[in-house]
Amino acid sequence: MSIFQIAVDGPSGSGKSTLAKGVAARLNIMYLDTGAMYRTCGLCAIKKGIDAKDEAQVNKMVEDLNIEVKFEDGIQHMILDGEDVTGQIRTPEVSVAASDVSAHPSIRRKMVDMQREIAKSQSFVLDGRDIASNVLPNAKYKFYVMAPSSVRAERRLAELNERGDFSQNYDEVLRDIEYRDHQDMTRAVSPLVQVPEAIVIDTSRQGIEETQDLLISYLNEA
């Protein structure tokens, strides 16, 4: 079978990563979480004491940025300066830093180059903000995953609480999500957009397995 890519875009907390990961497993192909790559960049800025909004500081950081993506038993691991930081990139602080740092062209160029290089080797499902519009504009299949911000905030709060993180309440999580939405949709470089040919999937209306079934049904029709 020839190599193909499935592009899954959508806002923070829409369920796109869960959907993309599940579909990849069912199709027995690889899954690349591009958001984890930007989160790792955000974590790098935090560790180095860099203001993620300061373009000059971020541009200097990029010069020595040492990020690797490794797959072990089909699971993606993020390596920063030789350290596996996969377990460190899911905090609210890193989420905001990732949104800020990803607005800079230097970061996006480096990450997009990495994503394209990885995806060309075999069939992949990629999820992010600009996969269909920028990273893989020629992807065979394109989807836009969405859910109301209120639903996304409830999900994100539940995820944090499940990990034992009770540092934020619902209103704070909702504010963070709305902040990320604004950042992602209004940034000058590769903003979050729904490309015209993308099939829209609303994850607030059905469960995980039903959503996976729906996406796969579109693949079978193509």
- How is the chain split into domains, by residue range? 5-215
Contact between 36 and 84 under an 8 Å Cβ cutoff? The reply is: no
Contact between 211 and 15 under an 8 Å Cβ cutoff? The reply is: yes
Write the pLDDT tens digit of every residue in 29-50: 999 999 999 999 999 999 999 9
Q: What is the mean pLDDT of the chain?
A: 94
How far is CA 189 from each of CA 26, 102, 130, 133, rounded to the nearest angstrom? 33, 9, 10, 11
5-215 topology per CATH: Rossmann fold (3.40.50)
Binned at pLDDT 50, 70 and 90, residue 1 comes out as low
Contact between 45 and 166 under an 8 Å Cβ cutoff? The reply is: no
Query: For the whole prediction, is pTM greater than 0.85?
Result: yes
Please give the Cα distance from 66 to 44 (Å, whole number). Answer: 9
In percent, how much of the chain has pLDDT > 70?
A: 99
What is residue 222's predicted lDDT score, i.e. its pLDDT? Answer: 60
Q: What is the mean pLDDT of residues 75-81?
A: 96
Strand positions, DSSP E, 141-215: 141-146, 199-202
